[in-house]
């Protein structure tokens, strides 16, 4: 028994001794040096990537499907001449082609643009800004609004207006001619609000604004033609305003677009065009009247 107990005890003690041994830690290896940071350089586009937007070019495609830029090539004299010729001969997207489109096919332009077929046309918003700028330059050079102011001065002088008031009349019409583009463009959101109220079943506000961009472009083209032909070539005196011309263009082209571009019946197309034109004219007349009488009759020079 004792031997058995001794064996057990020795075994137990051995087991205890084995458990009590401390494990040696593994040897520490030297830390590997960190790789040097590479300088940050923009990654070059892949050979099949667009150099303009870095989009992927389709095999065999001549243009980028994302931004429309042609595949890169070095400029040459032939390419430059082609681009210059393109402005005058390609009627799909040139500014001169767009003139013919808005004058003779406005309903198709509006219908295509609202349907998403926009790539074929010159940017209508950019065209309107250019047309307004040209009309403003012509009006300033011809002193169109200043000559209207002279007629107003004569009429007010006949009714006994004092010299200070007559001077402010001239200043007012000088400012109107100088900032005609700003004034006319500032009225467009109000006109678009009227168009939206009339065409709200067919158009949202942004589409109504675009509708007036097209009609406004037509008006500016006819205004440029009138300024050059009637007042510069023929030499006639300017009328009291351009309101009659704008009203005529609005009624005619809104009817045209309403029938051919929006699919309205003739009575609805004509009636909607008349309502928009009359309300736009009321807005123009009212704001012009407030600005004129507020400056001329109530403005006082300090000192």
Cα–Cα distance for residue pair 28/22, rounded to 1 Å: 18
Q: What is the residue range of 165's domain?
A: 101-296
User: Can you say whether residue 60 is alpha, beta or left, with left for phi > 0 and alpha for psi between -120 and 50 degrees?
Assistant: left
Helix crossing, 95-104 with 124-141: angle to 10°? 90
What's the average pLDDT block by block, 10 residues per block, for the chain (303 residues)? 47 47 58 57 63 83 82 72 65 79 97 92 93 92 87 91 90 89 94 97 96 97 88 61 89 98 97 98 94 79 41
Answer yes or no: is 164 within a domain: yes
pLDDT score of 236 = 61
The alpha-carbon radius of gyration of the chain (Å, integer) is 38
* pTM assigned to the model: 0.73
Answer yes or no: is 55 within a domain: no
Answer yes or no: is 169 within a domain: yes
- DSSP E strands in 106-258: the ranges are none
Answer yes or no: is 200 within a domain: yes
pLDDT score of 9 = 46
Answer yes or no: is 255 within a domain: yes
**How far separated are the first and last CA of the chain, in Å rounded?**
131
Answer yes or no: is 176 within a domain: yes
Helix crossing, 106-115 with 243-260: angle to 10°? 60
Cα–Cα distance for residue pair 202/271, rounded to 1 Å: 15
Q: Of the candidates 122, 132, 129, 116, which has an alpha carbon nearest to the alpha carbon of residue 98?
A: 122
Number of domain units in the chain: 1
| Contact between residue 127 and residue 246 where contact means Cβ atoms under 8 Å apart | no
Answer yes or no: is 30 within a domain: no
Answer yes or no: is 41 within a domain: no
Cα–Cα distance for residue pair 164/300, rounded to 1 Å: 10
């Amino acid at each position: 028994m004792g031997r058995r107990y001794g064996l057990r005890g020795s075994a137990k003690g051995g087991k205890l001794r084995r458990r009590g041994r401390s494990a040696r830690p593994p040897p520490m290896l030297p830390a590997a040096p960190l790789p040097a940071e590479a300088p940050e350089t923009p990654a070059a586009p892949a050979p099949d990537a667009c150099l303009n937007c870095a989009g992927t070019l389709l095999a065999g495609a001549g243009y980028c499907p994302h931004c429309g830029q042609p595949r890169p090539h070095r400029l040459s004299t032939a390419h430059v001449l082609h681009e210059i010729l393109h402005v005058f001969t390609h009627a799909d997207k040139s500014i001169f082609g767009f003139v013919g489109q808005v004058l003779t096919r406005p309903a198709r332009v509006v219908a295509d643009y609202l349907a998403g077929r926009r790539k074929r046309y010159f940017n209508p918003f950019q065209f309107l800004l250019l047309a307004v700028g040209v009309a403003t330059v012509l009006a300033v050079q011809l002193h169109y609004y200043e000559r209207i102011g002279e007629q107003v001065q004569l009429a007010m002088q006949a009714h006994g207006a004092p010299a200070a008031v007559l001077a402010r009349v001239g200043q007012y019409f000088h400012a109107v001619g100088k900032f005609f583009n700003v004034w006319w463009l500032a009225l467009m959101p109000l006109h678009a609000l009227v168009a939206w109220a009339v065409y709200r079943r067919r158009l949202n506000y942004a589409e109504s604004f675009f509708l007036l961009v097209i009609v406004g472009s037509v008006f500016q083209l006819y205004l440029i033609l009138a300024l050059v032909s009637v007042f510069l070539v023929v030499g006639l005196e300017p009328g009291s305003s351009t309101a009659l011309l704008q009203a005529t263009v609005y009624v005619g082209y809104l009817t045209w677009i309403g029938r051919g571009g929006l699919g309205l019946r003739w009575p609805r197309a004509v009636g909607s065009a008349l309502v928009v034109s009359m309300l736009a004219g009321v807005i123009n007349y009212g704001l012009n009247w407030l600005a004129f009488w507020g400056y001329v009759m109530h403005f006082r020079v300090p000192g």
